[in-house]
């Protein structure tokens, strides 16, 4: 018997489900990935409303987007990043870059909120284009690099990180 077969046999009757369960349990960042998609949808709806000059709808959609994005940033800044920094000893690296990008994105969101109030579609869409580009790059870096690092680092001793993170991002 080869080493791999011997290892597989050692799992007993139902190895795949055991492995899946373990993977699911250790993905602390899964709700953040889901929230990225949700924010993208809310952003697209606000942008579409601005392009059609439906300002009442745009204001409502944009407020929802902003609240969801802020909850997302807060979850990362107050729970996930500090937990990762403490567990990994890396405080000046990727999390610092992500915090700086959050600041940049908050500035653009502020600019867009002003454009909603003055019904300025050109300003709204101009800042929106920059924000969308930043968001896409930022989310890709998180999903492909930082979140896997967090999942791996926090898998062993995550404590109550998962619960605290969910409470912040779900605005509870
Ligand atoms: Fe982020």
Nearest-5° Cα angle at 52, 51 to 54: 110
- State mean pLDDT over 44-61: 97
* Distance of CA 1 from the midpoint of ligand 1 (Å): 47
Digit-coded pLDDT (tens) for 106-149: 999 999 999 999 999 999 999 999 999 999 999 999 999 999 99
pLDDT at position 7 over 90: no
Asked whether residue 15 is assigned to any structural domain, the reply reads no
Asked whether residue 58 is assigned to any structural domain, the reply reads yes
pLDDT at position 20 over 60: no
**What is the pLDDT of the chain when averaged over all its residues?**
88
- Indicate the pTM of the whole model: 0.83
Asked whether residue 70 is assigned to any structural domain, the reply reads yes
pLDDT of residue 25: 54
pLDDT of residue 26: 59
* Distance of CA 4 from the midpoint of ligand 1 (Å): 39
How far apart CA 49 and CA 86 sit, in angstroms, is 43
Asked whether residue 20 is assigned to any structural domain, the reply reads no
* Distance of CA 155 from the midpoint of ligand 1 (Å): 20
Domain that holds residue 109: 30-169
Residue, of 12 and 139, whose pLDDT is higher = 139
With a pLDDT cut of 90, the percent of the chain lying above it is: 77
For residue 54, give the CATH number of its domain.
1.20.120.520
pLDDT of residue 40: 97
How far apart CA 17 and CA 58 sit, in angstroms, is 45
Asked whether residue 164 is assigned to any structural domain, the reply reads yes
Nearest to 135 by CA among 106, 157, 156: 106
pLDDT of residue 155: 82
Residue, of 21 and 51, whose pLDDT is higher = 51
**In the chain, how many domains are there?**
1
Residue 60, both tokens: 């409502």
pLDDT of residue 18: 47
Asked whether residue 143 is assigned to any structural domain, the reply reads yes
* Distance of CA 51 from the midpoint of ligand 1 (Å): 27
With a pLDDT cut of 70, the percent of the chain lying above it is: 84
Asked whether residue 73 is assigned to any structural domain, the reply reads yes
Asked whether residue 139 is assigned to any structural domain, the reply reads yes
- Please give the full DSSP string across 66-108, using - where no structure is assigned: HHHHHHHHHHIIIIIHHHHHHHH---SSHHHHHHHHHHHHHHH
* Distance of CA 81 from the midpoint of ligand 1 (Å): 10
Q: 88 — phi, psi (to 5°)? A: -100, -20
- State mean pLDDT over 18-36: 73
């Amino acid at each position: 018997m080869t080493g791999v077969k011997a290892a597989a046999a050692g799992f007993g009757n139902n190895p795949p489900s055991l492995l899946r369960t373990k993977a699911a349990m250790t993905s602390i960042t899964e709700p953040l990935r889901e929230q990225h998609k949700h924010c993208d949808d809310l952003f697209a709806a606000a942008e579409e409303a601005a392009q059609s000059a439906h300002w009442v709808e745009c204001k409502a959609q944009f407020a929802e987007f902003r609240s969801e994005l802020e909850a997302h940033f807060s979850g990362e800044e107050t729970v996930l990043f500090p937990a990762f920094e403490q567990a990994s000893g890396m405080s000046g690296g990727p999390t610092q870059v992500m915090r700086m990008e959050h600041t940049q994105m908050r500035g653009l969101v502020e600019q867009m909120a002003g454009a909603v109030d003055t019904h300025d579609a050109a300003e709204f869409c101009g800042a929106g284009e920059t924000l969308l580009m930043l968001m896409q790059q930022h989310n890709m870096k998180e999903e492909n690099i930082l979140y896997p690092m967090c999942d791996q680092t926090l898998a062993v001793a995550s404590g109550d990180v998962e619960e605290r993170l969910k409470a912040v991002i779900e605005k509870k």
